[in-house]
Amino acid sequence: MESSPEFETQTKGAPPQAPSKPQIMSLWGLVSKMPPEKLQRLYVDFPQHLRHLLGDWLENQPWEFLVGSDTFCCNMASALLSATVQHLQASAGEQAEGSTILQHIGTLEFHHLPMPFHWKQEELKFNTVLQRLQHRVGETCLLRKALQPGAEGGQVSLHSLIETPANGTGPSEALATFLQETVGELEAAQALVLKRIQIWKRQQQLAGNGAPFEESLAPLQERCESLVDIYSQLQQEVGAAGGELEPKTRAALISRLDEVLRTLITSSFLVEKQPPQVLKTQTKFQAGVRFLLGLRFLAAPAKPLMVRADMLLKKIKRCERKGTESVTEEKCAVLFSTSFTLSPNKLPIQLQALSLPLVVIVHGNQDNNAKATILWDNAFSEMVMKDLELVGAGGALTWEVGCRLASMFK
């Protein structure tokens, strides 16, 4: 058998080399080969020469995944923008016409849409998801009734539609699939609400450093209540379709619905008024919690269920400190807790919510150091830095990131 060309050119005794992998041409590699007149029309606002310098690097960044309006996406987009400029500057340094390229970079304008626009888009998205859910619940009801013996004439067309589906399954299987898909959409809508609650909490923390904050919980309460209403309707549909569903399928649907309800309930207990983040012993302070689903489950009056109280911290038991740690670096939190029984199954529900981190002081001369601890934690807490992936080498905060995050405060 003849040897392959790759091995014929090797030195005698040298280990064989693996065949090289075929090179995959990048999108820019294809576009750059277009006729000049067509290529020029593609790059008007962004200079073609700069696009050439970015090359494959630009295509290897996660631009298409930064479609949200939350803090993570905004910060990642800003970081990518900075990295793009740095990459161009580095390329400019390797070119003879570096000064010309830098002038091009200086003339580029990057526009950020205002946050109210993002919130409006997010609100429209949720409302569309909610309307689709309501439509699906209505279709589920029609489908279930069409399967019942003696269905009315107006339901015949729907009944005949599911008797001979394309995949060959029967009417009962079609109903089970429809219910499973609808519960899946409810879970997706719940994920949107939970994400919005986390954003509200993060904005509340940043407000401790002076950042603007829309503190009204009314929109979140409305979302939680609307999903509980959808949950109740789907629970009724699963119960009414019991004879048409396999026992395992019915049990799985009930389990998923119960998990949606449990998560919504426990996530809707929030600290609306935070205690002071620098808390002095023997000094009265106020704090308040709010249960967004109180109108649905606690037979509360028409106004939102909120509890505020005057409190007093008499003394604090310090933890053991290591090395040069100061008492003003020790962070605590206030735990708010309550419980109630969920009818009709008398299911016990435990609600808990932690306040933002706070520092307890006993003397006024500790105030400035305590505020410094809180200022840093609000802006650059370990959890936030991990989520945003903004730490530099060795966990150190870079000046660029520090300036960008600090610029949001008053």
Provide the angle, in degrees to the nearest 10, between the axes of the packed helices 399-406 and 71-93.
140
**Last residue in a domain, options 249, 267, 285:** 267
Region of poorest pLDDT, from 112-116, 238-242, 311-315: 112-116
- DSSP codes, 294-332: HHHHS---SS-EEEEEEEE-----PPPP-TT--GGG--B
Length of the chain, in residues: 410
Final residue before a domain boundary, out of 107, 140, 168: 107
Q: Which of 161-170, 239-248, 352-361, 376-385 has the lowest mean pLDDT?
A: 161-170
Instruction: Give buried/exposed letters for 283-321 (b at 16+ CB in 10 A, else e).
Output: eebebebbbbbbbbbeeeeeeebbeeeeeebeeeeeeee
Nearest to 270 by CA among 285, 286, 292: 292
Residues 96 and 139 in one domain: no
Same domain, 26 and 61: yes
Q: Which of 2-11, 165-174, 349-358, 373-382 has the highest mean pLDDT?
A: 349-358
Instruction: Assess whether pLDDT exceeds 80 at residue 273.
Output: yes
Give the number of domains in the chain: 2
Instruction: Answer yes or no: do 98 and 137 share one domain.
Output: no
Judge whether residue 166 has pLDDT over 60. no
Closest CA relative to residue 371, chosen from 211, 208, 254, 219: 208
| Residues 131 and 34 reside in one and the same domain | no
Pair (125, 219) in one structural domain: yes
- Write the CATH number for 161: 1.20.1050.20
80 lies in the same domain as 119 = no
66 domain-assigned: yes
- Residue 91 is predicted with a pLDDT of 73
Residues 69 and 201 both lie in one domain: no
* Domain assignment present for 255: yes
pLDDT bucket at 101, cuts 50 / 70 / 90? low
> 83 falls in which pLDDT band (50, 70, 90)?
confident
Q: Which domain holds residue 103?
A: 20-107
Question: Band of the pLDDT at 163, cuts 50, 70, 90?
Answer: very low
pLDDT value at residue 404: 62
Tell the residue number behind the tokens 């619905």, with chain if given: 257
Q: Is 165 in the same domain as 246?
A: yes
pLDDT tens digits along 8-67: 334 344 444 444 444 455 666 777 777 877 777 766 656 677 777 777 777 777 776 666
Question: Are both 218 and 257 inside the same structural domain?
Answer: yes
Summarised one tens digit per residue, pLDDT across range 186-200 is 999 999 999 999 999
Residues 74 and 186 in one domain: no
Same domain, residue pair 103 and 123: no
- Pair 121, 215 in one domain: yes
**Tell me, what's the pLDDT at 85?**
78
